[in-house]
Amino acid sequence: MSRAYGFSASITGTSAVFRNRLTLCALIYIVMLTGLSYLSPLIMPYHPEEQGDLVYERYLPPSLQHPFGTDKFARDIFSRVFYGGRISLTIAFISVFLAVTIGILYGSISAYWGGVVDTILMRILDFLLAIPPLFLFITIAALFSVNIWGLILLLSFTGWMEIARLIRGEALSIKEREFILAAKGLGFSKIRIVLRHLIPNCLTPVMAAIPMKMAEVILIESALSFLGIGVQPPTPSWGNIINDGREALMYAWWISTIPGVFIAATVMSFNIIGEGLQKVLERSI
């Protein structure tokens, strides 16, 4: 009974999303982008780091042979954009999954234990939220060599706080419901009540927050890669591809413009999906 409450609203909301055309179009775009990005090693015509003839093939405009043109090293932008999409999406998927997991556990434990535990955990959360994430990224990048997995960990441990606050607010209202009180009366341990009864019924607002968190992480990762402290060349990422074309923007606009369009479309699509989920979940609760 306790589990049915949390997931029934999620299932109802998910089915309602498909009736919204704008949200459905955004979802189709994300699915297609994810499929093309992860299949890029099999279907892309060139390797993303493969250099062509620097005399005749650098800065070629979009054509049938190179749909998105080439860059200063005569590398195919079409292949690099989709390889870069795989990197950006992988970082977003893993870091959001870790951030959501940490946030759910932290917020639900804080709400259920209450009292001094809740006060201490919330003050720690307030302190962490006061630290600017970009400043933290730059500081860590200056002290250590950050690879892709290091970037994922950084994004995870700086992105769970909003989820924790969201879960705490939901858990505070749910922990006084009858099925939680019944579980207490049956003598279940606090850990069992939190994991099996409280958390499953707090997931509804998180469903809408996850796509928006994906959009936020993609923007941050792209910005960090553009600044040179994220994904390092020659590994392609949307951010460092834009940086590669910065000096040639006036006569080779496609190098920076095309990955920029992909970033904008992807972020917009995730936000549309999140807003669509939020609306239908609010109606179903």
User: Which residue is it, tokens 């959360």?
Assistant: 125
Give pLDDT tens digits along the chain (285 positions).
444 444 444 455 555 555 678 888 999 999 999 999 999 888 888 888 888 888 888 888 998 888 998 988 889 999 999 999 999 999 999 999 999 999 999 988 888 888 888 899 999 988 888 888 777 777 777 677 778 888 888 888 888 888 988 888 888 888 777 777 787 777 777 788 777 777 888 887 888 889 999 999 999 889 888 888 888 888 889 998 999 888 888 888 999 999 999 999 999 999 999 888 887 776 655
pLDDT at residue number 4: 44
pLDDT at residue number 15: 55
Q: Residue 207 corresponds to which tokens in the numbers above? A: 């469903």
> What's CA 173's distance to the chain center, in Å?
28
- Which among 40, 42, 21, 22 is positioned nearest to 32, based on CA atoms? 40
**Integer Cα distance of 236 and 243 in angstroms:** 11
Three-state SS for 99? helix
User: Please, are residues 77 and 103 in contact by the beta-carbon 8 Å criterion?
Assistant: no
Q: Topology of domain 2-284, per CATH?
A: MetI-like fold (1.10.3720)
**Integer Cα distance of 10 and 263 in angstroms:** 28
Give the CA count within 13 Å in the CB-facing half-sphere of 155. 34
Q: What secondary structure letter does DSSP report for 76?
A: B
**Integer Cα distance of 125 and 165 in angstroms:** 8
Three-state SS for 181? helix
Which residue type is seen at 271?
A: N
pLDDT at residue number 18: 57
User: Please, are residues 24 and 17 in contact by the beta-carbon 8 Å criterion?
Assistant: yes
User: Please, are residues 128 and 161 in contact by the beta-carbon 8 Å criterion?
Assistant: yes
**The length of the chain, given as a count of residues:** 285
**Integer Cα distance of 132 and 198 in angstroms:** 31
**Integer Cα distance of 21 and 107 in angstroms:** 34
Q: Residue 175 corresponds to which tokens in the numbers above? A: 């922990």
pLDDT at residue number 19: 64
Cis peptide before 234 (omega within 30 of 0): yes
Predicted TM-score (pTM) of the model is 0.83
Residues 6+ apart with CB under 8 A from 21: none
**Integer Cα distance of 280 and 16 in angstroms:** 6
